[in-house]
Amino acid sequence: MITLKEKIGYGFGDAASSMFWKIFGMYSLFFYTDVFGITAAAAGTMFLVARLWDSFFDLFVGIVSDRTRTRWGKYRPYLLWFAVPFAVMGVITFFVPGFGQTGKLIYAYVTYSLMMIVYSLINVPYASLLGVISPDPGERNSLASYRMSFAFIGSFVTFMLLQPLIDTYAKMFDPGNFSQTVQAAESSVSTSPTGWVMGVGSIGLICIVLFFLCFRWTKERVTQIETGKSVSIKRDIKDLLRNAPWWILVATGLAALLFNAIRDSVAIYFFRDVVRVNYRMPGTNWDMTTIYFLVGQAANLIGVMAAPSLSARYGKKRTYMLSVCMAGILSAGFYFIPNSITWILLFQFAISIFAGYVLPLLWSMFADIVDHQEFLTGRRATGLIFSSSSMSQKLGWALGAALSGWILALFHYAPDAMEQTQRTLFGEHVMISLIPALCCMLAFAGMLFYPLTDKKVREISEELNIRRQYAK
């Protein structure tokens, strides 16, 4: 039986990862266009190139972690080794050097790529922990729910803190840019480079503490059934590529993450250019974009917490399909609602509840695929399989961020313009509604072919437990 403390400790790991991941997912395009000073198209291409090759680096990390042997286990040591580099690289990535356009672009490519590498080195082993903390599918479902709950809590903290921190640091340490800071802060996050690097640094310190707690409070229990035979990396990969449920889950996960990536990337632009409401919440100084994100995270958390009970009653597959279907319908409806804060926040809340169901189910189903792979081949390639899930996550965000940059460029977005054209406004409106709806429909269609029912997963788990008893 997994204790509450261990579930919380495991959740701390994704709280830390998500604090930075949300910065990259929701703020990075705005940072590179309006603070760093490169075009939307250049930023979009950089996101795709950097994350595309890094996605395949995840597989390497998964393979290496599967073969790691330490007194702390296979996967936990990576939390200890890379917590500090994770935070340091975040600060370096959001530093604005005094280079020309070519130098800035090279700096952006190098630092962003290195950040994604460090993210892989800590996040892939962390994700793999889900498959070795407990052999029980029900407990893994609970762990996945705790993980995603804390992921959304981490994201929530980022949304609460990042904008006020950036604005505060800008006013304190960037007096030369003060007038520009005040002007920018009227409608969005400050564009002060100093504010950004110090704000991200503060978030990084919190991440270090959370990763260390995750390391201390978790334990690896599930071990490989020893056969005395050495299995090559080539064989592990070959077996994985023959696993049909894995292919289906990667594809549907990719579509679901595209949904999130495109909606999140364009939100700042949508509120500044389309909604055009200059509002700051008294006491917090949150603007409407931050409030929009916070409403979404609160609703996501409700969905995550409800996911275990719903999936226990209706099954993971059916719950997943219902969730993406409803998120897609509501996203399409978002295009037709009035330009009213009330309507926008209501739809954001409803969409985000259904979106919140999806991610914990995805991670729990990847743990089921680890068992399925072991059942078929006798080899428990936990790190490899979870690295592939991380790969699909990164590919989803990479394609989403790239598409966001390219579509903004296609619709003639101009960072320095006082007011965007009607063509640009239309593009931003489509990006936050109809395109995410299409992604949901693709995820729904893919899941129709997923063969691992809850009954089948239980049968596989019982058989593996019997094999482990005989192997002792």
Least confident of 359-373, 375-389, 399-413, 425-439: 375-389
| Mean pLDDT score of the chain | 85
State the average pLDDT over residues 49-65: 80
CB-hemisphere CA count at 13 Å for 398?
Answer: 21
Q: Is the pLDDT assigned to residue 455 strictly greater than 80?
A: yes
How far lies 334's CA from each of 260, 317, 339, 407, 432, in Å?
A: 14, 26, 10, 19, 8
Distance CA 328, CA 351 (A): 8
| Structure confidence at residue 209 as a pLDDT band (50, 70, 90) | very high
Q: Tell me, yes or no, whether 224 lies in a domain.
A: no
Q: How many helices (DSSP H) and strands (DSSP E) are in the chain?
A: 18, 0
Let me know: does 316 contact 365? Beta carbons within 8 Å.
yes
Residue 187: its pLDDT value, please? 47
Least confident of 6-20, 31-45, 179-193: 179-193
Residue 434: its pLDDT value, please? 95
Q: Tell me, yes or no, whether 127 lies in a domain.
A: yes
**pLDDT digits 0-9 by tens, 84-101:** 999 999 999 999 998 988
Tally of domains within the chain: 1
Residue 224: its pLDDT value, please? 59
State the average pLDDT over residues 305-326: 88
Q: Tell me, yes or no, whether 145 lies in a domain.
A: yes
Whole-model pTM?
0.71
The CATH number of the domain holding residue 398 is 1.20.1250.20
Q: Tell me, yes or no, whether 193 lies in a domain.
A: yes
| DSSP one-letter code for 339 | S
| Structure confidence at residue 454 as a pLDDT band (50, 70, 90) | confident
Relative orientation angle of helices 341-377 and 137-173, to the nearest 10 degrees: 130
Q: Tell me, yes or no, whether 249 lies in a domain.
A: yes
Q: Which of 54-58, 294-298, 425-429 has the highest mean pLDDT?
A: 425-429
Residue 226: its pLDDT value, please? 52
| Domain coverage including residue 87 | 4-219+229-471
**pLDDT above 90 coverage of the chain, percent:** 32
State the sign of the Cα–Cα–Cα–Cα dihedral 295, 298, 301, 305.
negative
Distance CA 360, CA 58 (A): 20
Least confident of 10-24, 208-222, 293-307, 312-326: 293-307
| Structure confidence at residue 184 as a pLDDT band (50, 70, 90) | very low
Residue 254: its pLDDT value, please? 86
Q: Is the pLDDT assigned to residue 178 strictly greater than 50?
A: no
Q: Tell me, yes or no, whether 106 lies in a domain.
A: yes
Q: Is the pLDDT assigned to residue 230 strictly greater than 60?
A: no
State the average pLDDT over residues 369-381: 82
The residue type found at 188 is S
Let me know: does 470 contact 227? Beta carbons within 8 Å.
no
Q: Tell me, yes or no, whether 373 lies in a domain.
A: yes
State the average pLDDT over residues 121-134: 88
Q: Tell me, yes or no, whether 77 lies in a domain.
A: yes
The residue type found at 365 is M
Q: Is the pLDDT assigned to residue 435 strictly greater than 80?
A: yes
Tokens 């919140």 found at = 356
Beta-carbon contacts of residue 427 (< 8 Å; ≥ 6 apart): 407, 408, 410, 411, 413
| Structure confidence at residue 7 as a pLDDT band (50, 70, 90) | very high
